[in-house]
Structure formats: structure tokens, C-alpha cells
Amino acid sequence: MHLVAATDEQMGQRDALTYSEWGKLLSPEGYAAREQRLRAHPWSRADMRTWLLCGEDGGVLASCETFRTSSFLRTAGGPLDPGDSFAIASVFTEERLRGHGYATRLMDLLAAELERQPRAHAALLFSDVGPRIYARSGYQALPAWDWHLSPTPGDPRAPVDTLLREDALGPALGRLRQPEVPFFFWPSPAQLDWHLERGRIYVEHLGCSLPPSAGATAGASTILWGLVGRSAELTVLMLDARSPSEGQALLEAARREASRSGLSRVVLWEEPSHAPLLPLLQGEGATRVARDGSLPMVRPLRPGLPLSPLLPAPRGLWV
Ligand SMILES: CC(C)(COP(=O)(O)OP(=O)(O)OC[C@H]1O[C@@H](n2cnc3c(N)ncnc32)[C@H](O)[C@@H]1OP(=O)(O)O)[C@@H](O)C(=O)NCCC(=O)NCCS
């Protein structure tokens, strides 16, 4: 068995097979168009690949995708050391081929391939099938708790200093504090826009509108959000709350934006840095739930990579 990077034609062939798994709400043609549109997005064009595990006869046994994402090592007292990490998506084995270890072999060969990249730091994935299969290939699970906040009526501008527009993702991302851990992933503005692109594709199927804002600021605190998939929810992509009260104000704006846009709730992925804010969230219309799917898992791609248990995996990194 060997690993190859798929051609455009092979990617199209995989789309036809993966439709049954990931095509909900879309027709097969709509799903193929979604995949093409997402591949044409600047973040995907920067370095997105589809990988195929092929048998000796060249037949495809399993597939997945990788997206390059920035990551940083904090050197002792020195500057941040940038590198490349790889977010892995859409691991897939056709039903008739399952249970023969093909997905596991694909993950092992892929890790070996990624380890050879000159600036490689780590691989990151979000498992919808629990931790066991990926733990075999060296992935470690991170905590996965979500906050679900009900929409509240009112002007989203009122609790915050500014609402952010989609075209301000770059400067807004620049306001966020980077995590105080020895190694972390950090998304680019194009990467965050890729999530919004998914929302632009799905909005016509959801009976809601695209939120007019992409986030908010309050004092030095910043939140980035969007409609990002096939659920009519306002998803928080990044949240840097410098104080609990500023964090609360940002989330109140999110709840109002969800209400104004006809969305059913706000979803926040809990991060270690949110701890001081959490007591303020408890109450009417806010619940903390174990995440259903999308379990973040990380695998070092170089020896000695310092993986902290406090490593954040914000929703903005999801693929
Ligand atoms: C998950 C998937 C890629 C596994 O492919 P595969 O080639 O059969 O994988 P392997 O043979 O290497 O490993 C199979 C293991 O995955 C486990 N697995 C498969 N689907 C699972 C699920 N929905 N929940 C939990 N475990 C699951 C099997 O139980 C098996 O575990 P075991 O060997 O410990 O009994 C395949 O089932 C698939 O394509 N599923 C649909 C798409 C999907 O959910 N992809 C994963 C996205 S994170």
C-alpha cells in the first residue's frame, strides 16, 4: 500500500463517494459544487491536498484531506518560532472496504509524509468517531466542552464597542492574544474566512440570514463568529476575553446577533483561557455540554514538541 496526492479528477471521484457521508442538505451536484467552491477558496489554494491510500493494483482504499495551518513554538525567552502544522479532514473508507485497517494505514503513512516537511510541527484533527482509531496512530485527545447560549433580543451593538465586518478579519485577528503555552496553532484570516465561505454556501438551505457582523470588540477583548456550516447557529470561531465582564459583553452581543439573524443558538467551544469567564455564563439560557463529535486530537510531527494539556483548539481551527 502507498500514499499518493490526488489529482483534480480523483478528488471529484472521491466527492461522489463521500456525498453519502457529508452531503446532508445538498443534492449530489450541490455537494460536488460545494467541494469545488471550498477548494477554490484562497485558504485551500494555499495548500490543501487530498491524499489517497492505494493498493498494489492502484485502487483507492481510503482518503483524507490536509490543510496547512500556522503554528508556533515559544523558545525560552526568545521570539516565537513559526512552523507548519496540518489539519486533517474527511478521513473516509468506502463502506465495503471498512474494518481492514485502511484508515489507520492512511493516517500512519500520512504522518510519515508530513514529518518529512521541513517546517513540520504537528498534525491536528477533529474526530467524529471517538479517540480510539486515531490514538493508534499517535494522536492525543484534548478536552471538548461546548457552551450553548440561547439567542436574546436586542441591538447587538449595545453591549460592545464595535461590531466587526467580514473584511476586518485580519486586523481583528491581530488584536487577539496568542496562547501562553509552549506550542500552539494559530489560524490565518483566510482560514477564518473559509468557515464563513461554508456559511455562504449553506445559508440558502437554512431559512436564516447571514449575520451582518463577523464579531465584536469590547475594550481590549475580541470575538470572531459566523454562520459556518449546515446548522443555523452562530458559531464562535475565536474569543479572547481579557476580563470576564468584557467576555460577557461579547457573548451578549453574539446572542443578540443570533436572534437578529434568525439563528437557533450561539455555540462556543470552551478553551482553557475562558475559565475566569465561565462562572458568569452559568444561568438562564446557557448550558455546558460534552461536544458531540469534533473531538480535537493532536500528533507531534517532530521529536520533543512540547504539547501542553492547556493547548487551545478553538473552533476557528476546525476542518
Ligand atoms: C471511520 C472510518 C474512516 C474508518 O475506516 P476503516 O478503514 O474501517 O478504519 P480501520 O479499519 O483502520 O479502523 C476501524 C476502526 O474504526 C472504528 N470506527 C469506525 N467507525 C466508527 C464510529 N462511527 N465510531 C467509533 N469508531 C468507529 C471501528 O470500530 C474500528 O475500531 P476497532 O478496530 O478498534 O474495532 C470509516 O468507518 C468511514 O469512512 N466512516 C465514515 C466517515 C467518517 O466518519 N470518517 C471519520 C471522520 S473523523
282 falls in which pLDDT band (50, 70, 90)?
confident
Q: How far is CA 239 from CA 11, 54, 113, 268, in A?
A: 34, 41, 33, 9
For ligand 1, whether the C-beta of 129 sits within 6 Å is yes
Do residues 313 and 202 both lie within one domain?
Answer: no
Q: Supply 169's cell numbers.
A: 478579519
Do residues 226 and 135 both lie within one domain?
Answer: no
Do residues 198 and 238 both lie within one domain?
Answer: yes
Do residues 152 and 182 both lie within one domain?
Answer: yes
Do residues 139 and 43 both lie within one domain?
Answer: yes
How many A from CA of 102 to the centre of ligand 1?
Answer: 9
Structural domain range at position 13: 2-143+293-317
Do residues 54 and 108 both lie within one domain?
Answer: yes
Q: What are the pLDDT digits (tens) for 42-100?
A: 999 999 999 999 999 999 999 999 999 999 999 887 789 999 999 999 999 999 999 99
Do residues 138 and 62 both lie within one domain?
Answer: yes
The CATH number of the domain holding residue 125 is 3.40.630.30
pLDDT at 271: 97
Of 132, 136, 134, 22, the closest CA to residue 88 belongs to 134
Q: Whose CA is nearest to atom 13 of ligand 1?
A: 101
Do residues 167 and 132 both lie within one domain?
Answer: no
Strands 145-149 and 215-218: unpaired
pLDDT at 76: 81
Of 282, 48, 224, 259, the closest CA to residue 153 belongs to 259
Q: Whose CA is nearest to atom 3 of ligand 1?
A: 92
Asked if 162 contacts 249 with a C-beta cutoff of 8 angstroms, the reply is: no
For residues 123 and 301, what is the distance between their CA atoms, to the nearest angstrom?
7
Do residues 65 and 119 both lie within one domain?
Answer: yes
Do residues 232 and 114 both lie within one domain?
Answer: no
The CATH number of the domain holding residue 231 is 3.40.630
How many A from CA of 139 to the centre of ligand 1?
Answer: 15
pLDDT at 265: 98
Phi and psi at residue 300, to the nearest 5°:
-60, 145
Q: Which of 51, 63, 98 to mutate to test the pocket of ligand 1 (most atoms within 8 A of CB)?
A: 98
Do residues 82 and 59 both lie within one domain?
Answer: yes
Q: How far is CA 275 from CA 37, 49, 278, in A?
A: 37, 36, 5
How many A from CA of 20 to the centre of ligand 1?
Answer: 15
Residue 283 has pLDDT above 90, yes or no: no
Residue 105 has pLDDT above 80, yes or no: yes
Q: What percent of the chain has pLDDT over 70?
A: 100
Q: What are the pLDDT digits (tens) for 192-249?
A: 999 999 999 999 899 899 999 999 999 999 999 999 999 999 999 999 999 999 999 9
Crossing angle of helices 28-40 and 8-22, in 10° steps, is 130
Asked if 52 contacts 3 with a C-beta cutoff of 8 angstroms, the reply is: yes
Q: What are the pLDDT digits (tens) for 301-312?
A: 999 999 999 999
Do residues 313 and 280 both lie within one domain?
Answer: no
Q: Whose CA is nearest to atom 19 of ligand 1?
A: 129
Cβ within 8 Å of residue 116, ≥6 positions away: none
Q: Whose CA is nearest to atom 14 of ligand 1?
A: 99
Q: What are the pLDDT digits (tens) for 118-128?
A: 999 999 999 99
How many domains does the chain divide into? 2
How many A from CA of 144 to the centre of ligand 1?
Answer: 20
